[in-house]
Amino acid sequence: MSNHPFSNFPEIILASKSPRRQELLKLMDIKFRVILKEVDESYPETLQPEEIAVYIAEKKAHAFDEAVTNEIVLTADTIVCIDNKILGKPESASMAVEMLQLLSGRMHRVITGVSLLYQQKLHSFFDVSEVYFNQLSHDDIIYYVNKYQPFDKAGSYGIQEFIGLVGIEKIVGSYTNVVGLPTEKLYKVLKNLL
């Protein structure tokens, strides 16, 4: 049996409580452990959406500057962008409904910034996917928000949940990027890290 490409890799620390990111790393057969640190996720207003995602991912990684030596710290931040407006995580059910109404019948961009901190150096990148929603019925939106409580998700939805399964017509770009971690790009960057 051949070895996994990362079998002799330094330990990977995932600084994310996202079950979706954890699941994706498991599916890539990457061993990791989760360590969380509180980070202020504010950013300068002058940044473009792609820059915001990377800026926040790097901020999360810098929280580990003093804490790690030979491990690789992996951080990520996913944002949803429509009409150059950033949709964060909804603070209420009514805000979630409003966001989904805004996305209904239109294309939006999902941008994930990823940062790898290894031996005091940051290796950062981002990925962009275009997501096309069909017209969503009011009933479907209400059902989804009430049942799935998407308050931990940028843009108020998870692509792998009901509203994504019934409402998304097509995606241009990486599916896993929309889930929260562009695995194909991550794999390449990890392989070039050592």
Catalytic residue of the set 29, 65, 77, 83: 77
CB burial of 141-169 (b: ≥16 within 10 Å; e: otherwise) equals beebbeebebeebbbbbbbeeebbeebbe
Tokens of 16: 């994310």
Is 140 in the active site?
Answer: no
Place of tokens 């504010």: 42
Tokens of 48: 């473009």
Cα dihedral 10, 113, 24, 31 in deg (nearest 10)? 10
CB 51 within 8 A of CB 31: no
Q: Exposed/middle/buried for 65, CB within 10 Å: 0-12, 13-18, 19+?
A: exposed
Which residues are the active-site residues? 77
